[in-house]
Amino acid sequence: MKFRAKIIDVGCLNHFTRVVNTVSRLTKACVLRLTCDHLYFVLSGRVATGGVSMWCELSQVNFFDEFQLEGVSADANEIFLEVAPENFSRALKTAQNAKSVKIKLTKKTCPCLTLAAELPSLSSVSRVVTHDIPVDVIPRRLWHDFREPQMPDFDVSIYLPPLKTMKSVVDRMKNLSNYLVLEANLNGEMNLKIETDLVSVTTHFKELGNPPWGDDGSQSSSPTHRDPDLMAEARVDIKKLQQFLMGQQVNPSKAMCNIVHRRILHLIFLHEDVSLQYFIPAVE
């Protein structure tokens, strides 16, 4: 198994760092899946994480100048590593002005992702900082746990309101209740609701727009004669929603959510070269 990659462009490095920072705020540990064309940060839904799952996909060509991978075997040319994204984040943090950053899979006392950054220095010879990030190699028989999630048959798909606004609303609601109901319809309307014994608060958003699914193959199976005013809702743990909104460092060009009525909240952020999907299960 071999992996080497190199980033030279400062913009790419900053962008990659922001993606890693976002992932590190969502989860303490995740799986890094490497293929010849993509990197994926994967968190599969487990009871321990409250059932949330995450799928973050990067197209490697948009970040790395060099990218060489030799996977587990010829017919399974991929590598799956368990890593703490916070370590990755910390390693990248002080390398933001590096001339180049090399990442490779190494074996020290344990398998590591070694990040070596060449930094500007006062002399003709560059300063080199090396970080060894411990990783666990995931054996092939467990790979099926980390497959790309299927697009659920959603009932409503809607663009999210400006994230800043949404975040401040959710922050305030968190003080009042542990659970939040997100409901939306095909008329571009979304409500965020909390309800306790003492108080109920609803924030209404209008004219958000609904993404035109249809050309993708991931079309909702229910035909388009759903009543546009009919709300689909999901009641979720407010902390999980807040955690997702808090961590965002990448300003997505498209932010939307798909709701499977009373089942799942599926949040999707798209940027030119990065896509981030986050699934929050609904609770009763």
Partner 1 sequence: MKCVIEGNGVKVFGKAVHALSRIGNEIWLDPQEKGLAVRTVNSSQSAYACFCFTPLFFQQYIPDPDIQNGCEAVKCMLNMKCVLPLFRCASWKERRVDRCEISVNIPNSRVIFQFHCRHGITKTYNLGYQECEALQAVFPAHLCPNVLMAQSKLLGDIVVHFPVSQEEVTLSISSFKVTLKTFCEEENNCIKGMNTELMLHPDEFDYFQVGEDSAVTFCLKELRGLLSFAEPYGLPVNCQFGVAGQPVSFTVKDMTLEAHVVLSTLTDPNHESPSQPAPGDDCPVNVTNTSTAEITTCESLWRQRKMIQLHAPGEILPKLSLIPESALTTPVTPATSKIRSLLFGAVYSDGGKDKTADLPSLACASDTEDDGGTEE
Residues that bind partner 1 (CB under 8 A): 87, 90-91, 94, 108-110, 112, 121-125, 127-134
Q: From the CB of 23, what's the least distance to partner 1, in Å?
A: 16
Q: From the CB of 39, what's the least distance to partner 1, in Å?
A: 19
* Tokens matching residue 205: 């958003």
* Residue 182 near residue 245 (C-beta atoms within 8 A): no
Q: From the CB of 7, what's the least distance to partner 1, in Å?
A: 18
Q: From the CB of 84, what's the least distance to partner 1, in Å?
A: 9
**Rounded alpha-carbon distances, angstroms, from residue 14 to 67, 181, 268, 275:** 18, 35, 22, 16
Tokens 């500007």 locate to: 120
CA angle, residues 175, 189, 54, in degrees to nearest 5: 60
Among residues 109 and 175, whose Cβ is nearest to partner 1? 109
Among residues 125 and 198, whose Cβ is nearest to partner 1? 125
Amino acid at 88: F
Among residues 134 and 188, whose Cβ is nearest to partner 1? 134
Q: From the CB of 63, what's the least distance to partner 1, in Å?
A: 21
Q: From the CB of 91, what's the least distance to partner 1, in Å?
A: 7
Among residues 24 and 53, whose Cβ is nearest to partner 1? 24
Among residues 53 and 87, whose Cβ is nearest to partner 1? 87
Among residues 29 and 230, whose Cβ is nearest to partner 1? 29
Among residues 108 and 144, whose Cβ is nearest to partner 1? 108
Among residues 113 and 169, whose Cβ is nearest to partner 1? 113
Q: From the CB of 160, what's the least distance to partner 1, in Å?
A: 35
* 91 closest CA partner among 7, 178, 177, 215: 7
Q: From the CB of 32, what's the least distance to partner 1, in Å?
A: 15
